[in-house]
A and B are shown apart, each in its own frame.
Chain A
Amino acid sequence: MRDKLTSLPDAISLVQDGDTVALQNMATQASPMALVRELIRQGRQRIRLVVLVGGMAVDWLAAAGVIDRLIGAAVTMEQFGLCQQYRRAVEHGRIAVEEISETILNARLGAGARNLPFLPTRGAIGTDLIAQNPENLKMLEDPFGGPPVLACRKLVPDVALIHAHRADRQGNVQYEPTILWPDIGIMPKAARRVIVSAEEIVDTEVLRKHPERTILPGFVVDAVVEVPYGAHPTSFFPRYGYDARFHQAWADAARDDAAAAAFLERFVSGPPDQPAYLEAVGGPETRRRIEAWEDSA
């Protein structure tokens, strides 16, 4: 069996400049932030990012000049407001947005996973999203005589970036308590390469105790990395909540380009590895606070 356990730098070396990268993310939840920081540290450019709902990860990638196109349904940090660096980059034409609805994203990734040219949806019919995206969205007659549907062209990301609760060295991935967002359900099946960071790497014997929690077979995964608290500052249910203070600090910094750059230097390019990052964001006290879900009440 191939050993897929590797380091953060080696895992992210599987991402090339210009790649289409599917990123697990839901506003303030479940984002593979350690993988995102490594993308920035390695200076990737011209990345086309695919997200369901982007949050701080998108804002960081925008601030660092990593992405020039975004395919997604929304970008927001919910209670912490709009992603200001991303927003400004879009408003100044540095990032092109291909805005799609949730069912369009699901259809496009689903078609990618199943090797179909497209999948239809009834969502978004009548909206301006369709005219904005003629390359990927077309109204289609129902061949069986019903009302028209929206054909959504298949999307095959080059890479999917995922964070999970545990994995073994072969890349079998467990998630707890279950899959919630389509990131995990469909992105890895649509993408050509899959990089997984996991809270812990365990022996395969541990996975065998709860095979119902294994959500990805190792053969779809190219690299696994052990990264405890790898989703910080986003929440990773049920292990830890989001870091509200850190989100607010970024939201404040992101309003000013110099402050945003200083923030990224301090927390992204500065710390050489995950232990150094965890110290920089507050060490044991921060870990205690997010594990108690104190900020989320």
Chain B
Amino acid sequence: MTSDWRTSPPAADYAVDELMIATLAAQFRDGDQACNGMASFLPVAAFMLARLTHAPDLVWLASAAGLDPRPARIPASTLEAPLWRDSVMYIEQYGDFWDLALNGRWLKKFCVGAAQLDQYGNANNSIIGTSFTRPTIRLPGTAGLADMGSIGKTLYYWVPNHSPRTLVRKVDFVSAAGYLGGGDERERLGLTGGPELVVSNLAVMDFEAVSKRMRLRSVHPGVSVRQVQEATGFPLPVSEGNVSETPVPTAAQVQLIREVIDPAGMRKRDFRRAGT
């Protein structure tokens, strides 16, 4: 099956989660190291897909706990032991993982899911509301996201439910630094890296080089620019003056996702949970 992924035609039948997985997978190459946190079915599926096709030597630190594991398929948790079965090495979070991540030479790319994302790529997983001490909704908290945003990583956001509630003009709380207020604000704090792409269920966005504002790069097949704009809580300029259509996954990619990587359909859970 992995021999024909190069020549496989675009899939006639695919779901948007499979398109998002293929789009994320394309960002990871041989020589990269990837890691995932909890409740991260789309990134995990993307890493597994990349390793089965174009990037067999992509190194994966599953759950930031197990090096290059061989899970049979995606289990119900992306943090628990079944995902890091057959690892080459157990990674200790205090002594190993953050040393490897903070150093700057390794783990240069990170996939981020967040409750809110704003026009400068700042992310919020902490609170909804205007008061930190008396929030309208207490979200889980930043975990390692606040670190990943400030230590030079290239960030790829995944947004299963593109809506004015998730893509907001300004986040209620900056749990992870994107481009902050835009322009060179991030640079002035001595921070390198930053948000690169936003892969949602409607479109793919990137960030304009000078203003650092999010803009529309491609819309998924069957989605209009207007539809994306209406689902976004701020004006979304079009990248390079014209907007393309997001490439659909290949038939081989879809088959791998459905039959090998995630036959139990765990990846769909990200979409059910969205917005709750």
Which A residues are closer than 8 A to B by beta carbons?
26-29, 52-53, 72-76, 78-79, 81-82, 86-87, 90-93, 96-97, 99, 101-104, 106, 110, 121-129, 132, 146-148, 177-182, 185-186, 235, 237-238, 241-242, 244, 293, 295-297
CB contact between B82 and one of A97, A127, A297 (< 8 Å): that residue: A297
> Any chain A CB within 8 A of the CB of B135?
yes
* Contact mask for chain B residues 121-133; partner A; CB cutoff 8 A; 1 contact, 0 none: 0000110000011
Q: Inside 8 A of A97's CB, which chain B residues have their CB?
A: 132-133, 138, 141
A-contacting residues, B150-195, CB 8 Å: 150-151, 173-177, 180, 186, 189-191
The answer to whether A79 touches B150 (Cβ under 8 A) is: no
Q: Inside 8 A of A121's CB, which chain B residues have their CB?
A: 102, 147
Bound-state CA distance A197–B98 (Å) is: 27
Nearest-neighbor residue (CB-CB) of A124 within chain B: B146
CB distance from B194 to the nearest CB of A (A): 10
Nearest-neighbor residue (CB-CB) of A139 within chain B: B189
Which B residues are closer than 8 A to A by beta carbons?
38-39, 65, 75-77, 79-82, 90-95, 98, 102, 125-126, 132-151, 173-177, 180, 186, 189-191, 269, 273, 276
CB distance from A127 to the nearest CB of B (A): 5
The answer to whether A180 touches B79 (Cβ under 8 A) is: no
Tell whether A79 pairs with B92 under 8 Å between CB atoms, given A90-B135, A128-B175. no
Tell whether A101 pairs with B76 under 8 Å between CB atoms, given A90-B135, A180-B93. no
Q: Inside 8 A of B144's CB, which chain A residues have their CB?
A: 73, 101-103
Bound-state CA distance A148–B273 (Å) is: 38
Q: Inside 8 A of A129's CB, which chain B residues have their CB?
A: 142, 146, 175
CB contact between B143 and one of A73, A92, A186 (< 8 Å): that residue: A73
Q: Inside 8 A of B94's CB, which chain A residues have their CB?
A: 106, 110, 179, 181-182, 185-186
The answer to whether B146 touches A296 (Cβ under 8 A) is: no
The answer to whether A235 touches B80 (Cβ under 8 A) is: yes
Bound-state CA distance A81–B94 (Å) is: 26
Q: Inside 8 A of B77's CB, which chain A residues have their CB?
A: 27-28, 78-79, 242, 296
CB contact between A296 and one of B82, B91, B134, B140 (< 8 Å): that residue: B82
Q: Inside 8 A of A87's CB, which chain B residues have their CB?
A: 137-138
CB distance from A266 to the nearest CB of B (A): 25
Given A102-B144, A103-B98, A124-B146, output 20 extra A-B contacts at Cβ < 8 Å. A79-B76, A81-B276, A91-B137, A91-B138, A92-B134, A102-B93, A102-B147, A121-B147, A123-B148, A125-B177, A125-B190, A126-B149, A126-B177, A127-B150, A128-B132, A148-B189, A180-B92, A181-B92, A235-B81, A296-B82
Most interface-central of B142, B146, B191, B269 (chain A CB within 10 A):
B146
The answer to whether B92 touches A78 (Cβ under 8 A) is: no
The answer to whether A237 touches B81 (Cβ under 8 A) is: yes
The answer to whether B76 touches A297 (Cβ under 8 A) is: yes
CB distance from A256 to the nearest CB of B (A): 17
Tell whether A72 pairs with B141 under 8 Å between CB atoms, given A78-B77, A123-B147, A127-B177. yes
Pairs across A and B, CB under 8 Å, 22 listed: A27-B79, A73-B141, A74-B143, A76-B140, A76-B141, A79-B77, A91-B135, A91-B138, A93-B133, A96-B133, A101-B143, A102-B98, A103-B147, A122-B151, A123-B148, A123-B150, A132-B132, A179-B95, A181-B92, A241-B80, A244-B76, A296-B75
CB contact between B102 and one of A96, A123, A177, A185 (< 8 Å): that residue: A123
Q: Inside 8 A of A297's CB, which chain B residues have their CB?
A: 75-76, 82
Q: Inside 8 A of A74's CB, which chain B residues have their CB?
A: 125, 140-143
> Which are the 10 A-B pairs with shortest beta-carbon distances?
A147-B190, A123-B147, A126-B177, A182-B94, A101-B146, A74-B141, A76-B140, A185-B94, A74-B143, A124-B146
CB distance from A144 to the nearest CB of B (A): 13
CB contact between A79 and one of B138, B174, B177, B269 (< 8 Å): that residue: B269
Bound-state CA distance A141–B137 (Å) is: 35
Q: Inside 8 A of B133's CB, which chain A residues have their CB?
A: 93, 96-97
